[in-house]
């Protein structure tokens, strides 16, 4: 897990923060926020908030009182305790791409399958740059919709021993995630110590929380499992064409969801979520890796810290259709401010392509390289007498070279970053070895990683109990049995 010891890049003045503060207060109190689940509305009604149908008009001071109950930082358990993570403060936790229905493998773009899901879990387990495989890494279209979440959670729990994300399609799916967490971690008591899953709850922006997401959220809240309350904001579509207006809307939506979580279970772990970019006003398509999204990300970090909350944002986002220069530079345009802002929980950190429609094997490797480089870059420079290398100057003198100096020979193996993907060979050598570009090299790397993958150990009794639970629940949901995985 990476600890970002560099200073935060904050761009909002105190005057600007005060204007934004007035803005979210007006939204929640004058326009209100819709909660499409009656139980959620009732929580607010009992707490003395004004309710009109599904709409809740919130007292800003009441919202702040609830938000103050949320922990500033918390631990997220992994099945292997060595892989447990800390969310908040200077810690940055990175998870894989989330949600795409399609996969790209080289030149082939196709529907995602359960085998793809399992492959991406294995890759996330294999690379230390990722702290979590994520959740819905792809939508496995070859499994029934009603029960595919069981297969996904099982794969996350058995093919990896890192923290994972839960299913949020319904309350029932959340209950299954929780029940499987109890099996994997040794009972209900383990969940009380610290969350064993973290789950993404998206707002149906603008200013509406839908019933399915809310029903899942409440299940996780009641069991003290972590949730990421995330407004889904594409400026020009789900929010106004203004960064300040979008930040205000983001604050209103995220804080209202966090307030609900604390009404359900005071002190339950939450993350201030942000998914903020803009729409291409010529085509109407979502844009990613834009200057506006980077500015919004930097502002979000500053805002979340003001409320004393860990926050989620960023990732390797891009709108490119293939693994090309656009995919790389747009991803960097999002990942760099992700680090500058000190983002605590980073979804979509590896594999995102085509505006989030595609999980791409080669892009996964490109993003791993970016994460490796940025972690190196954001490690504070250590300046000591030894690092000044005065003895090397004494040895070489004026006009010489340092290639054979004792200091160089002592440090050459670890003195500089060594790339995973990039090529630094001269043209002749590169050509003789086949002239493979970055995408071709990435394809070779992910295949080699899968071949070398070793499944982390899991107790046979736990594995059997998880398999039995998946089979039983699949039958209860009315889906046909599928061949049980060998793992």
Is residue 5 classed exposed, middle or buried when 0-12, 13-18 and 19+ CB atoms within 10 A define those classes? exposed
pLDDT (0 to 100) of residue 403:
94
| pLDDT tens string 404-414 | 999 999 999 99
- For residue 348, what pLDDT band results from cuts at 50, 70 and 90? very high
In CATH, which superfamily holds the domain spanning 2-9+67-377? Trimethylamine methyltransferase-like (3.20.20.480)
pLDDT (0 to 100) of residue 35:
98
Packing angle of the helix pair 325-340, 291-306 (nearest 10 deg): 20
pLDDT, average across residues 418-426: 95
pLDDT, average across residues 292-307: 98
pLDDT, average across residues 346-357: 98
| pLDDT tens string 367-379 | 999 999 999 999 9
pLDDT (0 to 100) of residue 484:
78
pLDDT (0 to 100) of residue 26:
98
| pLDDT tens string 153-179 | 999 999 999 999 999 999 999 999 999
Residues 6+ apart with CB under 8 A from 331: 289, 316, 317, 318, 352, 363, 366, 367, 370
- pLDDT tops 90 at residue 233: yes
- For residue 424, what pLDDT band results from cuts at 50, 70 and 90? very high
pLDDT, average across residues 218-228: 98
- For residue 486, what pLDDT band results from cuts at 50, 70 and 90? confident
pLDDT (0 to 100) of residue 408:
93
pLDDT, average across residues 55-76: 98
Residues 6+ apart with CB under 8 A from 367: 316, 331, 335, 349, 350, 351, 352
Buried b / exposed e over 72-105, threshold 16 CB at 10 Å, is eebbbbbbeeebbbbbbeebbbbbbbbbbebbbb
- pLDDT tops 90 at residue 77: yes
What's the predicted TM-score (pTM) here? Answer: 0.97
Average pLDDT, the chain: 97
Where do the domains of the chain lie? 2-9+67-377
| pLDDT tens string 279-294 | 999 999 999 999 999 9
- pLDDT tops 90 at residue 482: no
pLDDT (0 to 100) of residue 448:
98
- For residue 216, what pLDDT band results from cuts at 50, 70 and 90? very high
pLDDT (0 to 100) of residue 3:
98
| pLDDT tens string 20-65 | 999 999 999 999 999 999 999 999 999 999 999 999 999 999 999 9
């Amino acid at each position: 897990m990476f600890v970002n010891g560099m200073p935060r890049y904050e761009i909002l003045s105190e005057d600007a923060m005060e204007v934004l503060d007035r803005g979210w207060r007006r939204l929640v109190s004058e326009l209100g926020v819709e909660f499409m689940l009656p139980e959620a509305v009732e929580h607010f009604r009992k707490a003395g908030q004004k309710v009109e149908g599904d709409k809740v008009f919130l007292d800003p001071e009441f919202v702040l009182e609830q938000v103050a109950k949320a922990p500033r930082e918390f631990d997220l358990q992994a099945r292997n305790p060595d892989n447990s993570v800390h969310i908040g403060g200077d810690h940055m936790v990175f998870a894989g791409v989330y949600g795409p229905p399609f996969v790209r493998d080289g030149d082939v773009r196709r529907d995602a399958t359960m085998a793809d899901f399992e492959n991406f879990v294995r890759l996330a387990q294999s690379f230390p740059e990722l702290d979590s495989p994520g959740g819905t890494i792809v939508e496995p279209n070859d499994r029934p919709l009603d029960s595919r979440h069981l297969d996904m959670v099982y794969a996350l729990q058995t093919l990896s021993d890192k923290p994972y994300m839960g299913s949020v399609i319904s309350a029932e799916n959340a209950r299954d995630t929780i029940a499987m967490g109890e099996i994997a971690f040794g009972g209900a008591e383990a969940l009380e110590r610290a969350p064993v899953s973290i789950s993404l709850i998206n707002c149906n922006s603008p200013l509406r929380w839908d019933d399915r997401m809310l029903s899942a959220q409440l299940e996780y809240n009641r069991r003290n499992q972590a949730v990421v309350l995330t407004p889904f904001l594409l400026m020009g579509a789900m929010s106004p064409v203004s960064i300040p207006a979008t930040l205000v809307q983001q604050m209103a939506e995220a804080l209202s969801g966090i307030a609900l979580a604390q009404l359900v279970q005071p002190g339950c772990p939450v993350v201030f979520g942000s998914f903020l970019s803009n729409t291409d006003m010529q085509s109407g398509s979502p844009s990613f890796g834009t200057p506006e999204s980077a500015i919004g990300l930097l502002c979000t970090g500053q805002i979340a810290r003001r409320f004393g909350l860990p926050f989620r944002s960023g990732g390797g986002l891009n709108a490119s259709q293939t693994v090309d220069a656009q995919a790389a530079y747009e991803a960097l345009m999002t990942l760099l401010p992700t680090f500058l802002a000190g983002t605590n929980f980073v979804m979509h950190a590896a594999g995102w392509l085509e505006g989030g429609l595609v999980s791409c094997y080669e892009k996964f490797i490109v993003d791993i390289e970016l994460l490796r480089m940025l972690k190196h870059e954001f490690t504070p420079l250590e300046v000591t007498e030894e690092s000044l290398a005065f003895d090397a100057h004494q040895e070489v003198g004026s006009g010489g070279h340092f290639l054979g100096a004792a200091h160089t020979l002592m440090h050459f193996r670890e003195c500089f970053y060594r790339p995973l993907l990039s090529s630094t060979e001269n043209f002749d050598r590169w050509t003789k070895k086949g002239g493979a570009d970055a995408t071709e090299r990435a394809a070779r790397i992910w295949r080699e990683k899968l071949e070398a993958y070793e499944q982390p150990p899991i107790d046979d009794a736990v594995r059997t109990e998880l398999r039995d639970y998946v089979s039983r629940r699949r039958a209860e949901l009315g889906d046909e049995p599928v061949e049980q995985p060998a793992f």
